Amino acid sequence: MSSDEPLEIDGSTLEGGGQLLRIAVGLSALLSKPITINNIRAKRNPPGLKFQHAAGLRLVADICSARLEGNTTGSRTITLHPQVAPQASLAYTADPGTAGSIALLLQVSLPCLIFSSSSTSPSSLTLRGGTNASHSPQIDYTQNVFLPFIQKHFGLEPTLQVVKRGYYPRGGGQVHVSIPPVAGPLPSVTLTDRGEIKRVYGKSYVAGLPKSLADAMRTAAIDTLVESGIKENRIKIESLREKPSDAVGSGSGIVLWAETYEGCILGGSALGRKGTDAAHVGREAARELASNLDHGGCVDEYMQDQMIIFLALAQGKSRVKTGPLTLHTRTVIWVVEQLSAAKFRLEEAEGGAVVECDGIGYVPPVPPAPPTHVPGETSIST
């Protein structure tokens, strides 16, 4: 296959959903490798691109000046031809026009922007859509678990500001992200000792609904965490009602995160649903966090797959202890190995695994130097 011929990726492989698409497109842009993805979201109903996926593809194409084919809602095949590596830091915007997940728009674009060709100025992202959407990380998870994780372990320092909350079905949320670029490769990570729990934090929220629902979620979450063995004096969960000016639509939910003495951060969350008791939602989030703590791994089930691309781009050998490997994680590993020279080894045992990766030590290409004027030469314009 020539360097100009797209690598074909079967979008129905393993998990067969949107994350395969996001990781493949992000790596394609970063490594300047053209790809064609067929059978997009083949294991979802309905299959094909949704507005959110199309918005993420347009964003990545903008970042790397790509030629993008097939990017229409419902499409099951796209081709991306990156023309250049991610460019000097600029301001970018993405808006699916729906309540599609803002967190997933960040997921597809972040790896590209941390390696933009500027070594000084941060890139700016304005992302619109749903801040707290189903089947995706809540923006509070991104803000309090994912971003602190990549800052602590990879030295990355994106900052995120929630300007306005947006809930299903209207969307209308807005988030600003500032992403300073890095000049060299990311460091490898060794994270195999979770350590004892230092503190559990959380946010129980409602918008356009009575605050008593947030209080009920908070109380139920605390009771459930205490039942799981966490001391109550180590639990600090905020309960709040969003101001009408700070949110579009109505919604509710709770996000929890545990910090350990060894620097691990693990989360658990749940969204409120019509007809579902608020206390049940609080217990659901607490049980998810307790489950992520019970396996003794250093990352939760959501960080498990989100960290893979960063391990692949890092320099040297990384080792991270996880809980049982998810299908999402296996899918991301498969995609990364199709598009890069990164190599993964999985040491699986009952109740957990160790993910080992030989990273590629990616560094952004050096932008061409501007032409210099040689003394004595005359410049003639025509």
Decide if pLDDT at 221 tops 70: yes
Q: What is the average pLDDT across 228-252?
A: 96
pLDDT digit string, tens, across residues 103-132: 999 999 999 999 886 557 899 999 999 999
Higher pLDDT, residue 1 or 40: 40
Q: Is the pLDDT of residue 71 over 50?
A: yes
Looking at residue 288, its pLDDT comes to 98
**What pLDDT does 377 receive?**
45
Q: How confident is the model at residue 13 (pLDDT cuts 50, 70, 90)?
A: very high
Which of the following is catalytic: 53, 81, 153, 328? Answer: 328
Residue 3 binned pLDDT confidence (cut-offs 50, 70, 90): low
pLDDT for the residue 127: 98
The predicted model scores a pTM of 0.93
| Residue range 326-377, pLDDT digits in tens | 999 999 999 999 999 999 999 999 889 999 999 999 998 765 555 554 455 4
d(CA 320, CA 359): 13
Going by pLDDT thresholds of 50, 70 and 90, the confidence category of residue 227 is very high
Domains of the chain: 1-85 (3.30.110), 90-104+113-183 (no CATH), 197-294 (3.30.360.20), 302-364 (no CATH)
Span 257-269, average pLDDT: 97
- Residue 328: active-site member: yes
pLDDT of residue 367: 59
